[in-house]
């Protein structure tokens, strides 16, 4: 998690869940990047036997651990943990360190080593999942809270992900998908404009025409006529 962010969820966990918070600081500069930085192993120079090149540490923001990594991480974290929070108790429990400062640093770098080896999970991000959801259920009414509950993300996070991926808000994305489906019906069926509107999720024919013209640049009727001319 980036620094200076609030450590807070937006809904209760559905099952027993443990969180480990590892707080650390950098004495040098740090920055966020879309891709990690990998340093090459340089051949040792004859005249600089005891000099090492500066190197980078890239920590992924998201990822998953293998079973072996989970076991190692839990062992390291439990060894250096000094504060425990139990929501059923009125106060935090503070503990003295059970290992030396040097040992703590060794464990800390072991933890960093595990984190550096984490790869982004090979799953579609939330924006792509929502796009697929809209493509399948475009006739359903838009409900941001329902999306939030289904994908277990805060509504603000969902909006941000969709905008970053498609340059549109979730509602705008749904409208674009509906209009695309409407274009197909106008081209390949003889449905009336009103039936096309209802078929793609619009209850109001006037609103459908307004959104269609805004996105496509022409009315549904003119679009159908143009498609018929192109077929000739």
Q: What average pLDDT values come out for the chain (232 residues) when binned by 10 residues? A: 71 78 80 76 67 77 84 90 80 82 90 82 74 95 91 85 92 97 96 97 96 96 91 68
The residues pairing with 84 across neighbouring beta strands, listed in sequence order, are 93
Count of Cβ atoms closer than 10 Å to residue 154 Cβ: 13
Q: How far apart are CA 79 and CA 97, in angstroms?
A: 8
Count of Cβ atoms closer than 10 Å to residue 173 Cβ: 21
Helix axes 126-136, 170-188, angle to 10 degrees: 40
Q: How far apart are CA 198 and CA 214, in angstroms?
A: 18
Give the pLDDT confidence score for residue 121 in this predicted structure.
53
Kindly tell me the burial class for residue 180, based on how many C-beta atoms sit within 10 Å of its own C-beta (0-12, 13-18, 19 or more). Answer: middle
Q: What is the 3-class SS of 184-214, one letter each residue?
A: HHHHHCCCCHHHHHHHCCCCCHHHHHHHHHH
């Amino acid at each position: 998690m980036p620094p200076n962010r609030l450590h807070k969820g937006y809904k209760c966990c559905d099952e027993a869940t443990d969180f480990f918070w590892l707080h650390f600081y950098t004495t040098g500069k740090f920055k966020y990047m879309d891709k990690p930085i990998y340093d090459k192993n340089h051949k040792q120079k004859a005249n600089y036997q005891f000099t090492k090149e500066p190197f980078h540490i890239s920590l992924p923001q998201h990822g998953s651990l293998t079973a072996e990594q989970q076991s190692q991480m839990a062992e390291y974290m439990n060894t250096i943990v000094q504060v425990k929070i139990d929501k059923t108790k009125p106060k935090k429990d503070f503990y003295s360190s059970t290992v030396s400062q040097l040992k703590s640093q060794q464990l800390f770098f072991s933890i960093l080593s595990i984190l550096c080896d984490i790869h982004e999970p090979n799953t579609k991000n939330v924006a792509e999942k929502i796009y697929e959801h809209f493509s399948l259920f475009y006739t359903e009414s838009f409900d941001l809270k329902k999306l939030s509950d289904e994908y277990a993300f805060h509504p603000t996070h969902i909006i941000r992900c969709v905008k970053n991926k498609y340059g549109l808000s979730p509602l705008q994305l749904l409208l674009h998908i509906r209009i695309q489906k409407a274009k197909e019906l106008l081209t390949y069926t003889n449905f009336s404009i009103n039936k096309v509107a209802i078929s793609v999720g619009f209850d109001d024919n006037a609103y459908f025409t307004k959104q269609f013209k805004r996105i496509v640049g022409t009315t549904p009727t003119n679009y159908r006529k143009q498609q018929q001319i192109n077929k000739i």
